Amino acid sequence: MPLGQYVSGTINWLVFIGIKWFIASFDLGNECYREVLLPDDSSKVDKNKLSLSVLRDCLCLISGEDVWIMKEYGNKESWTKLFTISYMRDPRASSYSYIKAIYVLENEQVLLMYTEDERQGYISYNYKNDTSKFIELENFPSVCVESLISPFF
pLDDT, one tens digit per residue, over 47-76 is 666 788 887 788 988 777 778 889 999 888
pLDDT score, position 1: 44
pTM score, two decimals? 0.69
Whether residues 52 and 126 fall in one domain: no
Please indicate, yes or no, if residue 147 is contained in any of the structural domains.
no
Q: Does position 94 have pLDDT exceeding 50, yes or no? A: no
For the chain, the domain total comes to 2
What CA–CA distance (Å, rounded) separates 28 from 103? 24
Same-domain check for residues 115 and 100? yes
Q: Is residue 153 part of a domain?
A: no
Is residue 128 a part of any domain in this protein? Answer: yes
Residue 146 within a domain: no
Where does residue 8 fall: left (phi above 0), alpha (psi -120 to 50 degrees), or beta otherwise?
A: left
> What mean pLDDT, rounded, does the chain reach?
76
**Domain match, 55 and 14 both:** yes
- Helix residue ranges, H only, the chain: none
Look up residue 77 and give its DSSP letter: G
